[in-house]
Each structure stands twice: as C-alpha cells, then as structure tokens.
Structure 1
C-alpha cells in the first residue's frame, strides 16, 4: 500500500497547479521559472514545495546553489540549454526532496556523491543525459534508501554491471534501461538485484542479444532469484531462436508480465525463410508464472500446434498487429486459464469450428480489424465463459455463428440481413453495416436483457406493416443516428417502433433527414432523459412531440423557424444552435425565454442566430430586441352598420354564385370570347424572367396519361403552338442518369411555380412527397407561394392530413381541386394559368427596420 501512495504522491506533485502562476515568479509554494534565461538558481521562499527550473541556462549545481528548502518535494532541472555540471552533494540543502528531474540535459560532469544527502528521494529522472556505464558501476545511487523509481532511458549505457550498493536500495521497484546500447545482460551484472521484487524493469530497444553471439552457459540467468511484475524486452529485434534461448535461460525466474512487442518473429505474408514460433519457443517459461504475454507488432503468420502449452497460468495474450492468417488446430491447447485474447489487426479471413479449442475460461476475444468474411457456426459455441466478442471492421455478411453472450461488437461489417436466431445480450454494436429494413430493429428490440443497442450509420429506410410493439423493459440506450428514418416514416408505417420502451433513457436520432415527428412516436418513452435530433430537417415542434420527462435535448442544425418555449419546460440542457430562425414578432416569446431561462444552453451566442429577414440575417437572438411586439387586440367589436353591409353584400354574392353555378359553363365561354375580342390586338407574349420554366408539374408516373390529356395538351407549348407555357415534368425534362434528388431540386428551383397534382398515386410515391417537401422549403426560403397544390380525385381531408408535409400546407395555404364537372375544366385551366403567371410582390430590404416594425408589416 505504501508504494501505491508514493506513486500517487508523485502524480499529485507533477500535477500541481502552475497555470495560475505568472511565469518567472512564485506564489510561496510553487516557483515557476521555465524559459526565464536563468544562469543560476533563483532565490525562493523557504515554504516552496515545487521548484520548476527547466529550459534555462544553468551550468553548475553545487552545495551553495540552493538555499535551505526543507519543504521542497519536487525539483525540475531538466532540459538546460547549456552543458550541466553537478558537484558533490549538490542537493544537500533539500533534505525532503521526493522527485528530482534532470532529464534531457547534457551532463558534462556528475560527481559520484552528487545525490548524497537525499534520504527521502522517491523518483530520480536521468533520461537522455548522455550517461555511460560509470553511473551504474561507481555507486552513484548509494544511500538512497527511499529511491523507488529510477529512469536511465535514452543514455549511452553499453553494459549492465551494477554496483554492490544496489543491494541496499530496498525501496527500488522500477528501473528503466530502454533505448540504450546494451547488447547483453548476464547473471553477474544484475547480481545486486537478486532477492528483490521489481514492479517494472525495461530493457526495451537495446538490440539486446540480437547482434551478438551469447554463450548462455557462461551468461546464465540474468534474473535469478528476482520477482519481476513486468519485464519489457520489446523492440530488440528478436527472432524465434533468440526468444527460445532467452526463455530457456530465464527458466524459473518469476515474471508475471512479459512484453515482447515489436519483434521480428514470423514469416509475415508471403515469406517462408523466417520461422514462426513453435511449441519450443516459450517452453522455458513453464515455471515463470507468466500471467500476461505481449507478442504484438510482429510478423507471426501461423499459430502453430500447442504454441503456448507451457503457459498454464497465462491470463492475457496479446497477438495484435501481426500477420496471422492461419490458426492450426490445437494452437491454444494448454491455455486453461486464459481470459483475454487479443488478435486484432491481423490477416484472418476465415474462422473454423476448431480454431479456439483449448480456451475454457476465455472471457474476451478481440478480432477487430481483420478480413474475416466467413465464420463456421460452432466456432464460439463451446467458449462457455465468453462474455465479449469483438468482430468490428471485418467483412461479415451473416451472424449465424453468434453465441449467447453479454457483449457483441459487429460494427463496420457488410451485414444486409439478420438471421432469425435466438440472441441474448446486454450490449449489441451493429453500426456501419448495410441494414435497410426496420424489421431488423423490431427483431433486435425483442432480444432479452438488452441494455445498449448501437445501429448508427446503417441504411434504415423501409418498413413493413404489422409489427407488434417490442415491450423491451431492459433497453436503456438506443443509437439510430445517420440512417434514413424519414423515408420509412413518411409512408405512415412503423410509427410504433419505440412503443413499449419504458426504460429507455438515451435515444439518438441525429442525421435521419426527419422533417416531421410522427404523432405519439415518443409517447411510451417515460424514462427518456436524453434525446438527439440534431442535423435533421425539422421546421416545427408540436405540443406533445417531446417526452414529458426529457432533460437533455439536442435539436441543433435543423430548420426550426419559431419554436414554442413551452416545449422546453422540462429540460435542464438544450442545444438549439444553427437553426433557421425567423426574427419576426412571432419569435418574441422564444427570445424572451432564451434570455431568462435557467436551462443550460449549449453553444455560443453567435451560434443561435436569425436567418430571416435579410435585415437580421446572422444576428444573434440574444442581441435582438422585442420591444414593440405586443400586438393590440384586433377587431374588439364590430360596428353594426358594417355588419349590415356585410350581410347585404354576402346575400347578393350568394345569389350571384347560385346563378353562375347553374350556367357556369356557358358564362365562362362567353367571358373568354369577350376577352379575346377586346384584347385581340394585344400580343400573347409576356415578360421574360430568370426562370427556365414557367412551372414544374410534379405528379406520379402512374397518372401520366391523364395529365397529358387533361393538362399538357392545353398548356404546354411543345404540345401546341397555341399554348403559352414552358412546362417541366419528369418523363421529358429530367436528366437521365442524374441523381433523382438533384433532378427534383433543379426542377423546383428553376421553375417560377411548382404544381403538385396530388392523387392517390401521388400520396403513395415517396419521390413525389420528397418533391413536395423541397417545394415547401423553397416557399420558406423565398417567402412566397411558389407551390400550387391541385387535389385530383375523391381524396378526403383525412387522407391528405395523414402526411405531415401536406398537412402543414393544407392547414396554412389554399389549394385547388380538379373539377368533377366537365363544364368547369376550361374555367379551372384558366384559373391555374393565372396562378402560374402570378408574380409575387418583393419585400423591400431595409437593414434599419426594427423588429417591432415587422409586426405591422406582417
């Protein structure tokens, strides 16, 4: 326990706050003098605990360099920009020093007694100081009875011959000799460490044993009578032969964690002249009680028969970043206690039933980032203790092999369908696959005990009828971002996909192209606390759309125009940045709420801005004034005389309507005849404008024959020279091979008006509904009525209101109906022509119009 407290103390000392201290100054406890061009140690207060002197020009440290600092625990003297000389007992006046950092110095002279007088020194950093073997052979570290960590990495040490004083360093636990030039380590060189237990010993990246011929009979076991919790010999370029000889030489030494990463064992891919390790390679470790073995970052191609059979106590095996393509039957025999197997980032393509035999206790298997496309059905069935299987970023097209385990990672594969198999899991990760039908979501929501389901970046866009609600009482988090739920929901199906999820707490629906929320879609989510709807196309939220107990809502990057602040009453945090707010008086309630609410609003003020009108474009909602927007009550009382006038006028109008209705066909024929006679000398042309087409006719392809006979022959100029309009429609004017959405967008924006012929076929056509939505978006963008809706056939109001986008139009705009009586067709075509020719009145731009004035304009 004491060692852990010492390590914690070191972390605390290094993490001491210095950000609030001005450079080249002291606050009494921390003295910060980095980059201060010092040539000697400055005078500091006796209460100083941390003295930071790196990056200066201090050349010499002697016994007089420091005043008596009894409370100093950390001294940082590394990276001086000039060669450093350290004299005898240079730190004598720092009796309670715990951490001494001299790293990255060019030490020209280091007196053998430089560190005397430091009885409480816990950590000594001498990395990258140009030190030679002498620092080990000449007793530089004697009398440091509290020394626990010694860092001598990145020096010029060429041999390990430790001074006998190392035997007296009873607190020593960690020594780092990495990145030196030590070609060989033998028993007599480390003899002073015998009988000790070290938590960490690193000999990494020294070319150890790899470039010299070793007589192991003379060298013997360098770690005899030692207990090493972690031995790092990685990056030494060991082949199979070197590894085998080393394993045999250290036979019997207790090494709980052996790091052999960055080796050159194995034939790699396509080479046969270099051996893969075999059952003899690690045989010498049989009595070393190895619990963790790291063989990552190498070239192992094949795991041979009984490769690890002597490692009976091994619990963690890391084989990541090799070239493993083949697992021989029985390769894992003997690993009776293995719990974690990491084979990620290899070249596996197929897995067979026998590949993982001999792993009765394995709980975690990591196979991500391979090329696995086929897995036999029984491959994991007999791993009775398996809890987590990670198969992310492979090439799987089916999951018939999945066992009933708590955690399944299958993201980044090529799954198009899910088989009807029994699953039991707490966590399922299926993001970045190719699932399209929401049937699979309904299936997954039936998995017992499921708590977290991740389905981001799939292709959910279709839905079948007749699904039973899931009633999953365990699911807590559901991730459905970056799909296409709009296409599934706009047909009126699968609105009950979240029914029964009474325990769901977090739901992600970001990037789903949503332009509406189905009524009651969140009604069962009584436990929902966090909801993400960001990066969709929502223009409005209706009362009841959001769950009642919602606390955190992300609705950023949508197209909200004038949100009702009452919708956010239950929230504690809200992200509403990057929307398209219309800064007119209708928004005043939201602006007032925004400036007064206690709800945490994410994002900066500049990210919540006006989009319309142009005079407020880009202005932060926090800077917009709402003064003068209290509208007076209109029409408080009606004058009796006005009422009488209205009544008489209405009566005359109704009588006229009755007469015209009875003989409307004849009346209209006479009217048109008179009009032609009166205006016979006027040209039939009209002023040109910037639009390519007069109108874009949007209709279902199933209605083409009727549209051609009823409209095109009477209106389109290419059908008859007598017709005056240049019309656009899909069958003739869409660019073949172009993206359909792009064709629709071009047609909508290059036509003066968009005429949507809403029939039964239109309501069942997803592309027609998408074009309708784009036309509405243009209306909002241009602030005009460019969209003309014509209802064809006996469609009821209820049938129209079933579709969110059409419901919004019907509730706020007028639309036309195709006449049932043939005598009204001529009148209707004339009326439609007038709508097409009608030009919208522009809005005069004035950057100085205040918000209160807009109330009068509107």
Structure 2
C-alpha cells in the first residue's frame, strides 16, 4: 500500500510541474487558458472564444446567470469554487458552455442554487460540489437531470442528511462515482438508492457519515441499500463501526457485488490491555460470502487477535489490509480459506514473534508487509510453505537473525538489529538492509555473491572491519549498490578490502557517500567497467587523481568534501558533476580548474554560488565564477624567465648545494656569527625603538608547571630583568601579577597593557583553565582592536587533532598561523630572534576587495 502511495505522489508531482497555468501571468489569458485567480473580480471577465480552461477561484463573484458567460464552445474546464463571498447560481447559468467537461464549484457558500442551474450541459463529465452547504434537496429535487455524460459527482462535506435520490438518477447512465463522505447520514435503506439499482459504479464513498453508528437500525425493514448494484469500491470507513454493526451490515448486503470494501478507521477489537470490545470472528464477515470481495481494508482499528478462520468465506479475496491495528496474536488457522489472497499488509501492529503456523492457508500470497511491528524472533519455517511469496517487508523491527528468510526475489530488512549474515543463504533480486548493525566487510563480500542480485542497499550500517576471509567473486547481475553512511575509511586505511568491488562488472550505480573517506585506494574502481553513476559526497577527500575514477563514469557527486584544487583532466570525460561545498584554495594552483569551470561542456550540478573559496581569508566565501586568473598563466611566466634561469642555473646550483649543506649542518654557529656581526655593526642602535603606550612588550602566558623550562629557555634570553643584553620587557604571572587582586582582572590588565600576548601552548597549558581564559582574552582583543596581537607557540609533540579538541584554540589554528618550538637545539637562537621580531612588529590591516581579485596576488602573499 505504501508503494502505491509513493507512485501517486510522483504522478501528482509531475502533473503540477507540467501544469500549463505556471507559464501565464496572473489575471490574463493566452487564448487557451484564462487565469483569473485572486483578481478581486465581481463578475465573469470577457475572455476569448478560444478559451479551453477558465480559472476564476478566490474572487468576489456573487451571481452567475445565463448571461454571465459569453458563448465559449471550446471551454472544457471551469473553476468557479472557493469564492471569497457567498454567491448564487441561477437557471441555466452555464448554457453558453455547451462542451464543458469539468465544473468546479467546490468550497463555496451557495446562497441559492436553482434546480435547473446545470441544464444545457450535455457533455459535463465531472461536477464538484464539495463543501457548498447543500442540503438534501440537491438529491431530491432533480438538480442533475439531463446530465447524460456525468461520470463523477462530488457532494462531500455538505449538509446532506438523507440519500433519497430523485428518479432522474436513473437516466444518468454514464455515472461511475459518487462521493457522499463527510455528510451526516444516519441511515441508508434500500428505497433511497433505488434509482441506482441496476447500475455499476466504480466508487461509492460514504466515509465519515456516522452511518448506522448513532441510531438503531431495523435491518428487516431497511433491507439492502445496494441491491442489484455492482460496486468496484465501497468506502464506509470512519463511521465508528463495531463488530456488531459490521456483522449486521454484511448480512444486510448479502449478495451485492462489491469488489473492494473499505472499513478502515473502525472500532473493532479491544486494543492493547482492554477486553470490553470484541475482536471480529469467523461470523463477522460471513454475509460477504457471495459478494465477490477481492479487496478488504480493515486498517486503523483496534484488532488485537486474528481469530481462527476469520475470513474463510472470502474465497476470492486478493488484498487484505490490516495495517495500523493492535494485532499481537495470530491464532492457528487465522488465514484458512484465503486461497486467492496475494497481498497481506500487517504493518504498524504489535507483533513480537512469528511462528511456523501463522501464515498457513495462504498458498497464493506474493507480498507480505510486516514493517513497523516489534518482531524480535521468527521461527525458521514461518515462510517456507508460501511457495509464491516474492516480497517480504520486515523493516523497522528488532530482528537479530535471518535464518528464516526463504528464497524470494525482494527482501526489506532495514531498521533491524542484524550484526551478521554468515548463517544465511540468500537468493534474491533486491535486498534492503539499511540501518542495521553490520560491521564486518566479510558480510558485504557474502552479500555481493548472492545469485541473481540486482540491487543491494546497505546504507547506514557500520562497515569498518575487514577480516577478509572471503575472496571476491564474479557477480554478473548486480546493477545498484548503496553503501552510504558507513565507515569504509577505517577498513581501507588499514590497507584491507581494497578489492571489495572486484567482479562487479555490471554495476551501474554506486553510492559511497558519508564514509569518512580521506583517500581512494589505488585501483579500487578498476573493475567497474559498467559504472555510470558514483556518489562520493559528504566525505573528506582532498584530491582526485587520474586513475581514481571508473573508466566509463558519466555522473559524479563529490559535493561536500575537502577538494582543494581539482584536476580538470580527471573531470573532463564526465557528463554531470556536483562539486558544490568543497574547500577550494583560491591561489594560482586553482587557475586551471577555474578556467575549465568557465569553459567546460560538462553539466555542473547546483548553483555557482555553492562553489566558493574557503582560503585565504581575504577571499573566503567568494564564488569561483567571480575569480580572475590573470597573471597566473604558468607557461607565460616560465617563458619570460627561461633565459635567465638557464644562465643562472649552472652557476648557482653548486654554490646553493654547498651553502645549503654548510648552513644546515652548522646553522646554529652561523646564526651566532650573524648575531655577533649585527651587534658590532649596529652597536648602540639595538636598544632604540619607537616609544608607545604599552607597559610591556609581551605578556608571556604559560602553565605554572612549565615555569622552570620557560625560565631557562626564554626568560634568560629575552627578558631585560634577567640580563642587560636582553631588550624585551616581558610580563608573566609569577612576577608581575598583583597579589590579592582578582585573577581575571590581572589577566585582562596583562593582555591590554602588552603589545603582544605570547601563549606557550603545551599539554599543561591545555589543561589549565586560566591559560585558556587568557587565550580567549587575547583573541577578543585582536578582534576588538583589529590587530594581530596574539602569538601562539606550540611546545612539545602536540598534534593538530589535540589542538582542535579545544574550542577556544580551534578557531585560531583553523584560520591563523602558529609557531612550533624547534626540536633541534641549534635552531633555538634563530627561533628566539624571530620571536622577538614578531613581538616588536607593528600590525597592519588588510582590506578585502569585493571585486574580482587576481589569484596571483593571493599566491604571492
């Protein structure tokens, strides 16, 4: 039943997209369609005589008379319902519309409707009069006489209390469906529908009319209201029928031909935990024995137990809907007699276990829907006797094993608690296993070897382990594989299961979205020669290299990854690609991709605004389409420098190598010589610098547990109070904080009275709340003062991941550069010198230009 609903939604969507009125301006006509909805009209407008569809709803039209419409012989559809005021329809109001097929007056307050209002409409096919405040008179007084083509009549949601039909209904030989639902019709007896006797109707709706539920009925006098009628669908749902009413009704209509009987939204059964209302039994539906019922809808009720031989008299029944009840028990022989049943829907019930005998008596069943129950265990032979079973839907239960699965074509097992398939032999065309707990890729290897399998859906499991006790084998039938929402990265980064797709030579669609992938194993798609569509979205891929993609791929989704500068040659052979929401680095390395993006014939899915720069900060959020590649032509730059480089290359290569070796080997001594020479040359000038308003050159923020190291490594070499040779006035807690004053105030004063704040981030620092508080103060000052006052020095073997774990530090390391304390002792002197320069350096601000910015400018910063 759910599948049918999905198809209906799709059809309606297509109809809406294809609707012709979407291309017409409001309150106008294109000659064929006149669209005048919500135009504040008080009368029918003049439209061309070629008009086929006239739409006049949501206006203020109060009267429709015989002269309201010009002669419109081409008009097929008139929409006049949903007026914003009550209105009247007079005699022969539509006589100038002789070929009208559909008349919609629904959802209107009709103050007056003349009995001959619809005369002169010999071709009227559908009449919509729902929610119009109509009384019984519309049925009794011959309003529909002479409508020889009328097929569908909608009178739902009115004020009709009796269905006594005018004799003129006998003349309506084209009538197929009537909708009386949502009226108040307490009883319906044989004499009332006598004008319909002998007719065949595709649909008669009496839903939610309180029929037979509020009054006592003398069935001996009322007799069979559908005598000598043939009904394809009779809908009496939502009337609050108990077992007694259903039993009396089925006996009253004995012999009437009703192909599909809808008894949904009933109150049969005690529900869960009550015993005051009976479940239906074998006598409840015996009156339908000769009615040739092929479809029975008993959904949305309170049936708790399916009693033995419940429907045994319905030997022609093909579809039984028991969804949305409270069924917890299936008695032995509950389905005996249903030899013709093909579809059984028991979804949304309270079943906990299924036993071997539960479905005996269903030799023809092909589809069983048991989703959304609480089934935790099923005996092994429960379905083995159902030789024609093709589809079994067990989604959203609590199953942990699959030994009970028979050899059928379609299996739905999503939303259960399955952890392995090692104990099951399957044969199926379609297997859905999403939202389970499968972890070992050995289960995936096993599933990929299922004979005849065409579609496998294992989204949102936990595939991450790879014991690889099974080798891949040829599967010549698999066409679609959905593996999204797993953790393949964990298996692949261990170097295992790179051959998981080997042998899938017919696979056409592969989904690997949301698998935390940071790389694609070499040749992982090599064997997928038939693959046409691949989804790699919502992963962490930073690069796609030539050879990564399948050879004949046409459609690729790599949206929401971390691609920095995609290689156009990898994408050139595709037909459609989605590259939105990646982390493009807008420097000259991206210029080839930007040019390709502006010139390619490949269809780019999504908006250009979804492809934007994330680095550098100056271009963050800028669409790639607005970037200029001027000055980034690598070939042009190489050509202009080629002669100079050739002349200099031979001379400088040897000198550079020798210099590099000497400097690398003796860089500490070299830097000492450089510092000595600089002090001799600039003697007397080193201590002079511009005065400013800062009390300290830098506030040194570090954990108290690191004090001895900081003192030996930095303070003795930089702080002026430790040595006269040092020129920096530093502030740190142990010496310069005012005792007894609030610690937060001390930190605040230190940050704002120092030119820079230097945070020595160590493991102790990240565990010290006061240090992190000082870090946040320094960041806040940088934002407020628009300067780069915070210098971060990472000490020790802290990884990027460890830094990112702390929210206050994460924002800085994502967007700003930081320093690392050198591991080699001979680099310390150079590092301290550079740190001093950073401390004394005056900050400058950059302005972001909103216009097109050449990539070369960013690349050379």
Q: TM-score, normalised by structure 2?
A: 0.80
After superposing the two structures, state which structure 1 stretch, 241-250 or 456-465, moved more: 456-465
Q: CA deviation at 1:416?
A: 2.2
Counterpart mapping for 1:1-12 below 5 A? none
Mapped pair 1:602 → 2:602: no
After superposing the two structures, state which structure 1 stretch, 829-838 or 476-485, moved more: 829-838
Aligned counterpart in structure 2 of residue 290 of structure 1, from 284, 293, 311: 293
1:847 is matched with 848
Counterpart mapping for 1:320-339 below 5 A? 320-339=323-342
2:195 is matched with 192
Partner SS, residue 486 of structure 1: helix
The 1-side partners of 2:655 and 2:39 are apart by: 95
1:64 is matched with 67
The 2-side partners of 1:441 and 1:14 are apart by: 40
Mapped pair 1:528 → 2:531: yes
Q: CA deviation at 1:729?
A: 5.8
1:366 is matched with 369
2:87 is matched with 84
Question: Against the structure 1 CA distance between its residues 466 and 325, is the aligned structure 2 distance closer, same or farther, given a 3 Å change threshold?
Answer: closer
Q: CA deviation at 1:124?
A: 1.1
Q: CA deviation at 1:55?
A: 2.2
Counterpart mapping for 1:773-792 below 5 A? 781-782=814-815
The 2-side partners of 1:13 and 1:519 are apart by: 46
Question: Against the structure 1 CA distance between its residues 782 and 63, is the aligned structure 2 distance closer, same or farther, given a 3 Å change threshold?
Answer: closer
The 2-side partners of 1:377 and 1:769 are apart by: 53
After superposing the two structures, state which structure 1 stretch, 33-42 or 718-727, moved more: 718-727
Aligned counterpart in structure 2 of residue 252 of structure 1, from 252, 255, 259: 255
Partner SS, residue 618 of structure 2: helix
Q: CA deviation at 1:29?
A: 2.1
2:24 is matched with 21
2:303 is matched with 300
Work out the number of aligned pairs and report it: 753
Q: CA deviation at 1:419?
A: 3.3
The 1-side partners of 2:561 and 2:66 are apart by: 68
Counterpart mapping for 1:126-137 below 5 A? 126-137=129-140
Aligned counterpart in structure 1 of residue 438 of structure 2, from 412, 422, 435: 435
Partner SS, residue 127 of structure 2: strand
What are the superposed Cα offsets for residues 37-95 of structure 1, whole Å, 9 maximum, x if unpaired?
33322222222222222222222222222222222222222122333222222222221
Question: Against the structure 1 CA distance between its residues 718 and 213, is the aligned structure 2 distance closer, same or farther, given a 3 Å change threshold?
Answer: farther
8 Å CA contact 2:792–2:818 kept in 1: the answer is no
Q: CA deviation at 1:785?
A: 8.2
The 1-side partners of 2:497 and 2:503 are apart by: 13
Counterpart mapping for 1:693-708 below 5 A? none
Mapped pair 1:347 → 2:339: no
Partner SS, residue 192 of structure 2: helix
What are the superposed Cα offsets for residues 499-542 of structure 1, whole Å, 9 maximum, x if unpaired?
11111111111111111111111111111111111111111111
The 1-side partners of 2:329 and 2:833 are apart by: 73
Partner SS, residue 293 of structure 1: strand
Aligned counterpart in structure 1 of residue 278 of structure 2, from 275, 288, 292: 275
Mapped pair 1:311 → 2:311: no
RMSD of the alignment, in Å?
Answer: 3.8
2:517 is matched with 514
Aligned counterpart in structure 1 of residue 464 of structure 2, from 455, 461, 464: 461
Question: Against the structure 1 CA distance between its residues 769 and 477, is the aligned structure 2 distance closer, same or farther, given a 3 Å change threshold?
Answer: farther
Mapped pair 1:208 → 2:211: yes
The 1-side partners of 2:469 and 2:519 are apart by: 22
Question: Against the structure 1 CA distance between its residues 242 and 52, is the aligned structure 2 distance closer, same or farther, given a 3 Å change threshold?
Answer: same
What are the superposed Cα offsets for residues 585-641 of structure 1, whole Å, 9 maximum, x if unpaired?
111100000001111111212111111112211111100001111232255466778
Q: CA deviation at 1:198?
A: 0.2
2:409 is matched with 406
1:488 is matched with 491
Question: Against the structure 1 CA distance between its residues 546 and 716, is the aligned structure 2 distance closer, same or farther, given a 3 Å change threshold?
Answer: farther
Partner SS, residue 193 of structure 2: helix
The 2-side partners of 1:500 and 1:832 are apart by: 57
Counterpart mapping for 1:166-245 below 5 A? 166-245=169-248
8 Å CA contact 1:756–1:772 kept in 2: the answer is no
Counterpart mapping for 1:154-169 below 5 A? 154-169=157-172
8 Å CA contact 2:761–2:795 kept in 1: the answer is no
8 Å CA contact 2:630–2:856 kept in 1: the answer is no
2:57 is matched with 54
1:803 is matched with none
Counterpart mapping for 1:290-689 below 5 A? 290-631=293-634, 632-633=637-638, 634=641, 636=643, 643=650, 647=654
8 Å CA contact 1:94–1:118 kept in 2: the answer is yes
The 2-side partners of 1:243 and 1:598 are apart by: 66
The 2-side partners of 1:114 and 1:336 are apart by: 51
Partner SS, residue 570 of structure 1: coil
Q: CA deviation at 1:111?
A: 2.0
2:684 is matched with none
1:807 is matched with none
Question: Against the structure 1 CA distance between its residues 152 and 46, is the aligned structure 2 distance closer, same or farther, given a 3 Å change threshold?
Answer: same
Partner SS, residue 189 of structure 1: coil
The 2-side partners of 1:334 and 1:786 are apart by: 82
The 2-side partners of 1:348 and 1:338 are apart by: 21
Question: Against the structure 1 CA distance between its residues 57 and 495, is the aligned structure 2 distance closer, same or farther, given a 3 Å change threshold?
Answer: same
What are the superposed Cα offsets for residues 317-360 of structure 1, whole Å, 9 maximum, x if unpaired?
11111111111111111111111111111111111111111111
What are the superposed Cα offsets for residues 206-265 of structure 1, whole Å, 9 maximum, x if unpaired?
110111111111111111111100000001110000001101111111100101011111
8 Å CA contact 2:560–2:579 kept in 1: the answer is yes
What are the superposed Cα offsets for residues 350-406 of structure 1, whole Å, 9 maximum, x if unpaired?
111111111111111111111111111111111111111111111112212111211
8 Å CA contact 2:706–2:764 kept in 1: the answer is no
The 2-side partners of 1:101 and 1:413 are apart by: 48
The 2-side partners of 1:484 and 1:294 are apart by: 43
8 Å CA contact 1:691–1:750 kept in 2: the answer is no
Q: CA deviation at 1:16?
A: 5.8
8 Å CA contact 2:760–2:795 kept in 1: the answer is no
What are the superposed Cα offsets for residues 162-192 of structure 1, whole Å, 9 maximum, x if unpaired?
1111111110001111111111111111111
Question: Against the structure 1 CA distance between its residues 41 and 731, is the aligned structure 2 distance closer, same or farther, given a 3 Å change threshold?
Answer: closer
8 Å CA contact 2:515–2:539 kept in 1: the answer is yes
The 2-side partners of 1:77 and 1:586 are apart by: 63
Q: List alignment gaps of at least 5 residues for structure 1.
A: 1-7, 679-685, 695-714, 736-748, 758-767, 789-815, 817-826
Question: Against the structure 1 CA distance between its residues 853 and 828, is the aligned structure 2 distance closer, same or farther, given a 3 Å change threshold?
Answer: closer
8 Å CA contact 1:277–1:300 kept in 2: the answer is yes
The 2-side partners of 1:787 and 1:403 are apart by: 63
After superposing the two structures, state which structure 1 stretch, 424-433 or 470-479, moved more: 470-479
Counterpart mapping for 1:771-850 below 5 A? 781-782=814-815, 828=824, 845-848=846-849, 850=853
After superposing the two structures, state which structure 1 stretch, 433-442 or 294-303, moved more: 433-442
Q: CA deviation at 1:310?
A: 0.7
8 Å CA contact 2:702–2:765 kept in 1: the answer is no
8 Å CA contact 1:691–1:752 kept in 2: the answer is no
8 Å CA contact 2:567–2:593 kept in 1: the answer is yes
Question: Against the structure 1 CA distance between its residues 145 and 353, is the aligned structure 2 distance closer, same or farther, given a 3 Å change threshold?
Answer: same
8 Å CA contact 1:778–1:786 kept in 2: the answer is no
Q: CA deviation at 1:12?
A: 9.0
What are the superposed Cα offsets for residues 268-326 of structure 1, whole Å, 9 maximum, x if unpaired?
01110100100111111111111111111111111111111111111111111111111
8 Å CA contact 2:422–2:443 kept in 1: the answer is no
Question: Against the structure 1 CA distance between its residues 167 and 851, is the aligned structure 2 distance closer, same or farther, given a 3 Å change threshold?
Answer: same
